[in-house]
A and B are shown apart, each in its own frame.
Chain A
Amino acid sequence: MREGRTILVVDDEPPLRELIRVSLGDRFAFAEAGDADEAWAEAKLRRPDLVVLDIMLPGRSGLELLRQLKSDTELAHVPVVVLSAWQTDQDARDALDAGADAFFPKPFAPDELARVVDVLLEDAA
Chain B
Amino acid sequence: MAAAAAAAVATGAVLARGGGAETGPATIRITDVQTEFRRVDAGAPGRIGDVEVLRQQLYNRRISPRPIGSAYLVCTFLDRRTRQCNGTYVLPKGKIVVAGALDSRLLYEAAIVGGTGLYDNARGALTVTATALRPRRNVLLFRLAG
Contacts and interface: CB of A to CB of B under 8 A. Distances in A.
Interface string A89-125: 1001101100011110100010010011001100111
B130 A93 contact: no
Contacts of B132: 109, 112
B80 A103 contact: no
Given A92-B127, A125-B80, A120 B141 contact: no
B64 interface: no
A89 B29 contact: yes
A62 interface: no
Contacts of A102: 104, 106-107, 130
Interface residues of A, number: 20
Q: Which size bracket describes the interface of B in this complex?
A: 10 to 19
Contact of A119 (B106, B108, B139): B106
B104 A115 contact: no
Contacts of B29: 89
Contacts of A125: 80
Interface of B: 29, 80-81, 103-104, 106-109, 127, 129-134, 139, 141
Interface of A: 79, 89, 92-93, 95-96, 100-103, 105, 109, 112, 115-116, 119-120, 123-125
